[in-house]
Amino acid sequence: MAQTKGYTHYACDRCGKSAFMVDGSAEAREWREVRRVTAGGSESVKLLCPECRKSYEDLVTKHDILFNSFMRREEV
Ligand SMILES: [Zn+2]
């Protein structure tokens, strides 16, 4: 019986989607580990599937705009 090694189990921390993917494959690279720091300074790391990663990037892009406005001392 043939064996294939080098698979990793991925599970999205947001939606629960899971998959076994070949390490380093294009599919696996679509998943992303993101770090977030709360207002209180606590850092957490979450693994996101491609769909949740896109939603997260949309969210943090808005945060980036607000933060940049804050740093320019503009009203936010
Ligand atoms: Zn997800």
Predicted confidence (pLDDT) at residue 29 exceeds the cutoff of 80: yes
Indicate whether 76 belongs to any domain.
no
Distance in Å, CA 9 to ligand 1 centroid:
14
d(CA 29, CA 75): 38
User: Could you list the residue range(s) of the whole structural domain that residue 37 is in?
Assistant: 7-71
Percent of residues, the chain, with pLDDT higher than 90: 87
pTM over 0.95: no
* pLDDT the model gives residue 1: 63
Indicate whether 13 belongs to any domain.
yes
Percent of residues, the chain, with pLDDT higher than 70: 99
> Does residue 14 contact residue 46 with C-beta atoms inside 8 Å?
yes
Distance in Å, CA 53 to ligand 1 centroid:
7
Question: Mind listing the pLDDT tens digit for each residue in 33-67?
Answer: 999 999 999 999 999 999 999 999 999 999 999 99
Distance in Å, CA 56 to ligand 1 centroid:
10
Which residue reads 């957490």 in tokens?
Answer: 44
State which residues have CB under 5 angstroms from ligand 1, the bound ion: 12, 14-15, 17, 49, 52
* pLDDT the model gives residue 3: 83
Indicate whether 31 belongs to any domain.
yes
Query: Number of structural domains, the chain?
Result: 1
